[in-house]
Amino acid sequence: VFEDGDEQQRYRDIREEAKAIAKLAEPLAPEADESGELHQGIYDLLRTSSICEIAVPSAYGGRFETVDPLAFAIVREVFMGASAHLDGLFAMQGIGSFPITVGGSKEQKEEWLPKVASGEALAGLALTEPSVGSDLKNVKTEIIASGDDLILRGQKSYISNAGVAAFYCVFGRENAGYSMVLVPAGIPGLTIETGPELFAPAIIGTLTFDDVVLPAGARIGEPNQGFDLGLSTLGTFRVSMGAAAIGLARACIEQATRHAKSREAFGRPLARLGPVAGLLADSWTEIEMARLLVYRAADRARTDPLGNVNYASMSKLGATEAAGRAVDRCLQVMGRFGLERDSPIGRYYRHARPMRIAEGASEVLRLGIARQLCEEVK
């Protein structure tokens, strides 16, 4: 719901801005999306544009007064349609810096947020551990106050931007609660191992904190605020994963449709064979349904991200699951050509899959959504 035409135009302009960057990224995508290393060409596109400003509030070099989930969703829908690598780098600028935006000290904000906005610093958020993913309350990483210092001990794995980020917001156990600390890359005691290699390549790695000594000012927010910071981050950005899923699915269905229109079998284009038409029609329908939900959730998240976290979960669940079905159907439409290693369909197929696991696996989201439903229905 827009206040006026200017506000609506602002979002249209963001979409056009994202499209111009995505167009330049498209030729680089086959190489960038097949590599777990930072792709310089894609990174340069982000840095030379001003699009990362959307990830940071205007007081610290960002575009808008507050980080806007709708603007973020619009950009991710466009970016993911062009390149998973581009989308991943952009997404992490918001997700990796948001704990600082909502809970950081003035010094932390002044030091890091302008660099995130310009793209000079890449951001990382470290929650997951080798033995803990969804069940975050079981993290083993410890934050120990010791005189004027904080000691950080533990290991984080599958961390996006590991090895290329300038800093990591790290979630750990502190006494009986959970806190977050800001850890600059290169600090003594932090070692980083990249990988493992995924079939949908991404920049990920393991961070090991071997009694890393941090100043007390490295804590983000108050002691025991770690869970709230994590929730705020998810409440603001989860919906954008749904948007990314739609962007990918739409790009995939366009590819399959071109093929189905031009390839003939049994005397007519594939697209005119009933079951093939059905595969395309069902995919398009589901993508459009998901898009409506994603944009409704993004609009709600603009004013109250935490109060609408269930909408964000529903949109991420609905869109990523719809994208999963769409890429599978599209590959079927392509026949054997969809199986070729270098086919764009193969790339979409692989990169759709992690979206149903990362940032809240579908099954975990369903639990939260059903819990909310039970609370609402009297």
Ligand X SMILES: Cc1cc2nc3c(=O)[nH]c(=O)nc-3n(C[C@H](O)[C@H](O)[C@H](O)COP(=O)(O)OP(=O)(O)OC[C@H]3O[C@@H](n4cnc5c(N)ncnc54)[C@H](O)[C@@H]3O)c2cc1C
Compute CA distances 244 → 219, 319, 332, whole Å: 31, 9, 22
Q: Shortest Cβ distance from residue 267 to ligand X (Å)? A: 44
The residue type found at 323 is: A
* Contact present, 186 and 162 (Cβ < 8 Å): no
- Give the strand pairing for 204-215 and 190-194: antiparallel
Does residue 133 belong to the site contacting ligand X (CB under 6 A)? Answer: yes
Q: Of 82, 202, 298, 352, which one interacts with ligand X (CB under 6 A)? A: 202
Residues that contact ligand X, how many (by CB under 6 A) = 20
* Smallest separation, CB 336 to ligand X (Å): 28
| Nearest to ligand X of 29, 202 (CB atom) | 202
Q: Which stretch binds ligand X (CB under 6 A): 12-20, 241-249, 275-283, 353-361?
A: 353-361
Rounded to a whole number of angstroms, the minimum distance from the CB of residue 168 to ligand X is 9
339 interacts with ligand X by CB under 6 A: no
Least distance to ligand X, CB of residue 153, Å: 17
> Taking the complex as a whole, how short is the minimal distance between the CB of residue 52 and ligand X, in angstroms?
17
**Distance of alpha carbon 223 from alpha carbon 201, whole angstroms:** 36
> How would you class 296 by CB atoms within 10 Å of its CB: exposed for 0-12, middle for 13-18, buried for 19 or more?
middle
Two structure tokens written together for 96: 């990796």
DSSP secondary structure, 255-314, as one string? HHHHHHHH-EETTEEGGGSHHHHHHHHHHHHHHHHHHHHHHHHHHHHHH-TTTTHHHHHH
Cβ distance to ligand X smaller for residue 177 or 196? 196
Q: Is 128 in the site for ligand X (CB under 6 A)?
A: yes
Residues in 135-194 at the binding interface with ligand X, rule: CB under 6 A: 135, 158-160
Judged by CB under 6 A, the residue of 45, 73, 126, 280 near ligand X is 126
Q: Output 232 or 283, the one with its CB closest to ligand X.
A: 232
Query: Would you tell me how many other CB atoms lie within 10 Å of the CB of residue 15?
Result: 14
Contact present, 240 and 72 (Cβ < 8 Å): yes
Q: In the numeric block, which tokens belong to residue 38?
A: 């930072």
| Near ligand X by CB under 6 A: residue from 363, 370, 371, 373 | 363
Is residue 287 within 8 A of residue 322, CB to CB? The reply is yes
Q: Contact region for ligand X (CB under 6 A) — 46-54, 58-66, 217-225, 362-370?
A: 362-370
Q: Which residues bind ligand X (CB under 6 A)?
A: 125-128, 133-135, 158-160, 202, 204, 354, 357-359, 361, 363-364, 367
